[in-house]
Amino acid sequence: MRTLLLTGPGGAGRTTLAAATALHAAREGTRTLLLGTDRTDTLGAALGTSTGPAPTTVAPNLTVWRPDPDDRFRADLTAFQDRASSVLDLVGATRLDPEELTPLPGAEELALLRALRDAALSDESHDLLVVDLPPAPRALALLALPEELRRYLRRLLPPERQAARALRPVLGRLAGVPVPAEWLYESAARWDVELAAAEAVVADRRTAVRLVAEPGPAGADAVRTARLGLALRGLRTDLLIANRVLPEAGPDTWLAGPLAQQRKTLTEWREAYEVRAVAHLGRDPRGTDDLAALAVPGTAAEAAPAEWPVTDHVADDGVLVWHLPLPGAERGDLDLVRRGDELVVTAGPFRRIVPLPSALRRCTVDGAALRDGELRIRFAPDPQLWPRTR
């Protein structure tokens, strides 16, 4: 199943265009599932019909699902209490009833990731999943969460230590120190599987991000930042939708200034993106007729996977070069830190910790340069670790 993730700066109309994208695909015969992430029914307002936690068919070939993150949080915490019942009873803890549970910060993001995974892996027959993500800054943090949480789990509860499960009670008695309980490792393994499934959906080559923004200075800045964050995560942008494009008018109208800014931004965008301009209807789109008038494409060609290749220049320059495409990055906003077999890459407001390719783990960092939107990191082979040639 192909997945389209729609995001953009707040107020740019991403929810409306997510609904229009899904509706257009459905009318072309594509069995489409539209996943909403807003607590309020903004999707229902755009479609002209209410949506909720139960999947609802709103048009032929179009199903809408807007899961309730509060219900998922209560169910998860109740299940956790059941699994940890022996520990809770041992310390005399009083269990919380589902009715008194209030979602904690971060619970909504985890619920959204689970909904994304469940939607993508659903047994229902859908060909396309359209996801109305939150505004770009929050969406980028959300898409980064599975990889980051899996890394935390591997550091806190290394999988290789689980091999000695049978010895843990004995070790605990002999050493006189507390040893993690079986349920803790089982919970970590289950979380890792769930996070891996969500990460696989985001990283799949059939998944693409579609940006929605209004053409103008603020929209241009937001798109530039979002593009950098997506590139750092290796995510592909298949289309930039320029929303609420104003009609051309005479030079003497009060719209002359905004129109000039709009034209300038559209020209810049078309040099870097596949752009689809959506005209301003003069009102907020409501109902399927208005959404159809927006003429947003529902599907696109499969995007090539984002790659960070390593090129061999050892024979000529004595280095290997790692190429990281970071369009929109500025030299002053870049920072690199080598930590063991990982590289901490900071680009503007974004940071990612990535494992080094195997060949580069036996090298030392020799320098880096930013050229034409690509960060090129040079690695020199470590003579003590690199195989010698005769």
Q: Write the pLDDT tens digit of every residue in 96-129.
A: 776 766 766 677 788 888 888 888 877 678 999 9
Most confident region among 35-44, 207-216, 282-291, 305-314 by mean pLDDT: 207-216
Lowest mean pLDDT among 169-178, 259-268, 305-314: 169-178
Lowest mean pLDDT among 153-157, 278-282, 366-370: 153-157
**What is the average per-residue pLDDT within 271-276?**
91
**What is the average per-residue pLDDT within 11-28?**
94
* Residue 379 scores a pLDDT above 60: yes
pLDDT digits (tens, 9 = 90+) for 176-187: 545 455 666 777
Length of the chain equals 390
3-state secondary structure 51-88: CCCCCEEEECCEEEECCCHHHHHHHHHHHHHHHCHHHH
Q: C-alpha distances in angstroms, 80 versus 86, 100, 187, 312, 316?
A: 11, 15, 9, 49, 58
pLDDT digits (tens, 9 = 90+) for 170-213: 545 545 545 455 666 777 788 888 889 889 998 888 899 999 99
- 331 and 213 Cβ atoms separated by less than 8 Å: no
| More reliable by pLDDT, 255 or 319 | 319
- How many C-beta atoms surround the C-beta of residue 371 within 10 A? 9
**What is the average per-residue pLDDT within 225-247?**
92
Lowest mean pLDDT among 125-139, 187-201, 270-284, 328-342: 187-201
Instruction: Identify which of 347, 62, 117, 316 has the alpha carbon closest to the alpha carbon of residue 231.
Output: 347
Q: Is domain 2-69+104-293 given the CATH code 3.40.50.300 in the classification? A: yes
Residue 97 confidence (pLDDT):
74
Residue 224 confidence (pLDDT):
94
- Tokens 């507390």 belong to 178
Above pLDDT 70, what percent of the chain?
82
* Domain boundaries defined on the chain: 2-69+104-293, 310-381
**What is the average per-residue pLDDT within 273-277?**
92
Task: Give pTM, 2 decimals.
Answer: 0.85
Lowest mean pLDDT among 27-31, 154-158, 247-251, 336-340: 247-251
| More reliable by pLDDT, 201 or 79 | 201
Q: Which amino acid appears at position 168 of this protein?
A: R
* Residue 85 scores a pLDDT above 50: yes
Lowest mean pLDDT among 5-14, 252-261, 360-369: 252-261
- 382 and 363 Cβ atoms separated by less than 8 Å: yes
Q: Which neighbouring-strand residues pair with 369? A: 376
Domain 310-381 is in which class?
mainly beta
Residue 53 confidence (pLDDT):
85
Above pLDDT 90, what percent of the chain?
48
* Residue 326 scores a pLDDT above 90: yes
| More reliable by pLDDT, 297 or 147 | 147
Q: At what angle do helices 107-120 and 136-156 cross, to 10 degrees?
A: 90
Q: What phi and psi, each to the nearest 5 degrees, are found at residue 121?
A: -105, 10
Close Cβ partners of 59 (under 8 Å, ≥ 6 residues apart)? 23, 26, 27, 288
pLDDT-derived band at 89, boundaries 50, 70, 90: low
pLDDT-derived band at 270, boundaries 50, 70, 90: very high
